Amino acid sequence: MTKKIIEEEGVERPLVAHRITELAHAIMHHKKAYYSGHPEISDAAYDALEDELRSMSPDHPVLEIVGAGTLPFAAAGAVARKVEHRTPMLSLDKTYNLADLHHWVGGRPVMGTLKVDGNSLSIVYEGGRLVLAKTRGNGRVGEDVTEKAVWISDIPRTLTEGMDAEVRGEIYCTEGNFLRLADEMVQLGLDRPTNPRNIVAGLLGRKAHFELARYFSFFAFDFIPANGKSPGFKTEVEKFKWLGKVGFSLPHPKRLSDPAEIEGYLDYVKALIAEDEIGLDGAVFSYDDLALHDEMGLTAHHPRYKMSFKWQGQTAVSVIKEISWATSRLGIVTPVAVIAPVYLSGASITNITLHNAAHVKAYNLKPGDRIEIVRSGEVIPKFLGVVEPAAGDYRWPENCPECGSLLVSDSIRLKCPNETACPAQRLGAILNWIRCAEIDDLNEKRLLPLMDSGLVKSMADLYRLQEKDFLIIPQTREKMASKLCKNIQSSKDLPLASFLNGLGIEGAGRTTWEKLLEHFHGLDGVLKATADEIGKIEGFAEKSAAQVVDGLTARRGWIKDLLEAGVKPFQADAVPKEGVLSGLQFVITGALSVPRAEIEDAIKMAGGKLSASVSRNTYAVVTEEPDSGSTKMKKARELGVKIWSERQLRSAIADKANIEGGNNL
Ligand SMILES: [Zn+2]
């Protein structure tokens, strides 16, 4: 089962990263136990751990540590070691005023980055290896937090060979990871953390549960060379490019050369603040020309070549009167706190979004809680934290507020399962149909009045509309009405795969339908197929087979309705059976330079077949990450399957000889 999960796209890499940190931690633990004379596992079991880590990350530093004496990590359970900063970690000068910011910039090109509300961290590399991670502390002396930092997947363990250097940045916790972390802490019997900002400092100061730091992220923003092997950068642009290349995540750096670009960047930051996935409190600007940094130097408190810009955030405390829930057009049920009105940055605030059901659970929110909210600039007001909780526990609604269906939940969201009849979800379903049937000009704004007037209750109703019906849409005259009507009518002839895709069945995309239509020879066959039969097709997981069958069953009425309204789906020409890649099977994995569908199409058009997993029948694996430690790549190497880059695939398609010459089937 684990294997199946790992092979599902998208989750593959985080899981591998997680396993790597898990292994590194276990190896460090057993190394210490061994060298302190109390081994806990056999030598063979220990070797197996090292072998597994080596197969996933051959250069991992823990593999090269010999003996306990040279461990670059503080002893477990010891009181945090104080460590000095060779170069002080200063705070930043700040301004709330745009005119002051422009004055400071003075027309020079600057680098803009996000200002993350987290904890500063300095990572020391010696000989190219991570040897120490330390907090900012008082700026001169910080604390050794290496054992926690090695759990953060954004922090590479090695730089260029032989290099001594220090990389500085900010540790933070995203909203999504905070919710997962809060759940895990409660399961471990620890106190529920109060918010993503406090939890970082809280966990860095802990003497146990270092593995919880795997929920943290890290943005690198500075590089301090300490020996001649370090690159000599001339600009911030070069510096960030290099940091990205060696594997650090970056705080969205952007070079800005005039006031309009600076203000554009601030708008971008504001939009991110509203999203609330990363806790941000502004932006940082730094002169791009690093020669200026040396020239201007530091005051006792801050560098003169960097400036942070923050919005004067006003906070207020209010009381939750009630939590109201609404169903979105995708069926997600989201909470809003109705609060006692407070006046904040020029507006009276009565509602605060609480994002999702997990948020309510993580903060144990309920009527009567006194909460703190913040509004910075024109950014929408946000919930900050609970000041004084009321008695009792949070409650999730049991039924959909729109249709009364019993709600279902995954770990984060509450969802109304009544996809086909819930009124809240009807709009989303019809919009999806419009997109899949490629009906031009009919956007949400034009669709809403048609739905509000009762003319459109289902996708089939679209085909019953007459020209005059469109005139009820505001600012719509005969010409547009006629165009909309024509666009809808001409979408009646559409490929079967688009028709099925337009039904909006979760877990099935266009390629899925193409595959099913080919396998079951058309619509009737697909409608009759059982989950068992679908599950037997290569590349189909049990779960998605069941989703397809349940989804189709629930939509029988829609299908009948659409066909009766005159929609005539046709079986598109099958993929050419003969081509350069005929008879060959391919697996695509990892990140690509173009959308995945483009590579799939290129293979199919050349007659090749696609498979979701690597086997002896696989001809080649197409990837841009040939060194990846993913399950698919491991298997490919084990079986000696060819590994092709996108370029190799394209040149093979262009050049038949290449294939025949290299065919090892
Ligand atoms: Zn509902």
How far is residue 496's CA from residue 502's CA, in Å, rounded to a whole number?
10
Question: From ligand 1's centre to the CA of 405, what distance in Å?
Answer: 6
Predicted confidence at residue 8, as pLDDT, reads: 34
- Give residue-wise pLDDT tens across range 607-656: 888 887 888 888 999 988 888 778 888 888 888 888 898 888 888 887 65
Fold of 94-309: D-amino Acid Aminotransferase; Chain A, domain 1 (3.30.470)
Distant-in-sequence, close-in-space partners of 130: CB < 8 Å, separation ≥ 6:
61, 72, 123, 124, 146, 149, 150, 155, 156, 157, 158
Degrees to nearest 5, angle at CA 7 with 5 and 11? 65
Question: From ligand 1's centre to the CA of 437, what distance in Å?
Answer: 25
CB atoms within 10 A of CB 303: 18
Question: From ligand 1's centre to the CA of 575, what distance in Å?
Answer: 40
- Secondary structure of residue 637 in the 3-state scheme: helix
- Secondary structure of residue 30 in the 3-state scheme: helix
Q: What average pLDDT does range 540-557 have in this prediction?
A: 87
How far is residue 300's CA from residue 480's CA, in Å, rounded to a whole number?
66
Q: Over 80: is that where the pLDDT of 73 sits?
A: no
Q: Give the tokens for residue 329.
A: 């057009």
- Give residue-wise pLDDT tens across range 404-428: 999 998 767 899 988 888 988 898 8
Phi and psi angles of residue 302, each rounded to the nearest 5 degrees, phi first: -155, 155
On the 0-12 / 13-18 / 19+ scale of CB atoms within 10 A, 336 is middle
pLDDT band for position 573 (cuts 50, 70, 90): low
Predicted confidence at residue 450, as pLDDT, reads: 95
- Secondary structure of residue 54 in the 3-state scheme: helix
Question: From ligand 1's centre to the CA of 352, what distance in Å?
Answer: 22
Q: pTM (2 decimals)?
A: 0.54
Residue spans of the domains in the chain: they are 2-71, 94-309, 313-403, 423-491, 495-570, 585-662
Question: From ligand 1's centre to the CA of 415, what distance in Å?
Answer: 8
DSSP state of 436: H
Fold of 585-662: Rossmann fold (3.40.50)
- Give residue-wise pLDDT tens across range 267-316: 889 888 877 788 888 999 999 999 999 888 888 788 999 999 988 777 88
> Could you tell me where the beta strands, DSSP code E, fall in 151-216?
165-172
| Token pair 């490019």 in the structure block, residue | 241
Q: Which helix (H) or strand (E) holds 332?
A: strand 332-344
Question: From ligand 1's centre to the CA of 226, what distance in Å?
Answer: 61
Predicted confidence at residue 662, as pLDDT, reads: 35
How far is residue 630's CA from residue 600's CA, in Å, rounded to a whole number?
20
Q: Over 90: is that where the pLDDT of 201 sits?
A: no
Question: Among 94, 120, 84, 86, which Cα is nearest to 301's?
Answer: 94
Question: Of 32-41, 382-391, 543-552, which range is least confident?
Answer: 32-41
- Give residue-wise pLDDT tens across range 449-486: 999 999 999 999 999 999 999 999 999 999 999 999 99
Question: From ligand 1's centre to the CA of 430, what distance in Å?
Answer: 16
Question: Among 177, 247, 269, which Cα is nearest to 214's?
Answer: 177
Question: Among 133, 148, 155, which Cα is nearest to 205's?
Answer: 148
Strands 306-309 and 94-95, sheet pairing: parallel
Rg for the chain, CA atoms, rounded: 29
Question: From ligand 1's centre to the CA of 483, what distance in Å?
Answer: 34
CATH 1.10.150.20 assigned to domain 423-491? The reply is yes
Q: Which helix (H) or strand (E) holds 348?
A: strand 347-353
536 labelled catalytic? no
Give the per-residue SS3 of 209-227: CHHHHHHCEEEEEEEEECC
Q: Give the tokens for residue 517.
A: 């239509």
Predicted confidence at residue 559, as pLDDT, reads: 95
How far is residue 15's CA from residue 61's CA, in Å, rounded to a whole number?
20
Question: From ligand 1's centre to the CA of 316, what distance in Å?
Answer: 35
Phi-psi label, residue 331: left if phi above 0, alpha if psi -120 to 50, beta otherwise:
left
Predicted confidence at residue 474, as pLDDT, reads: 92
CATH 1.10.150.20 assigned to domain 495-570? The reply is yes
Q: Which of 31, 115, 134, 604 is catalytic?
A: 115
Q: Over 80: is that where the pLDDT of 111 sits?
A: yes
Question: From ligand 1's centre to the CA of 364, what distance in Å?
Answer: 24
Q: Give the tokens for residue 196.
A: 């993503």
How far is residue 437's CA from residue 422's CA, in Å, rounded to a whole number?
22
Predicted confidence at residue 258, as pLDDT, reads: 92
59 versus 125: the higher-pLDDT residue is 125
Fold of 313-403: OB fold (Dihydrolipoamide Acetyltransferase, E2P) (2.40.50)
Fold of 2-71: Helix Hairpins (1.10.287)
Got the DSSP string for 241-305? HHHHHTT-B----EEE-SHHHHHHHHHHHHHHHHHTSS-EEEEEEEESBHHHHHHH-B-SSSBTT
C-alpha to C-alpha distances, 267 to 93, 105, 283, nearest whole angstrom: 21, 18, 10
Phi-psi label, residue 162: left if phi above 0, alpha if psi -120 to 50, beta otherwise:
left
**Which residues lie at CB < 5 A from ion ligand 1?**
400, 402-403, 405, 416, 418, 422
**Is-same-fold flag (423-491; 495-570)?**
yes
The distance from CA 251 to its chain's CA centroid, rounded to whole angstroms, is 15
564 versus 6: the higher-pLDDT residue is 564
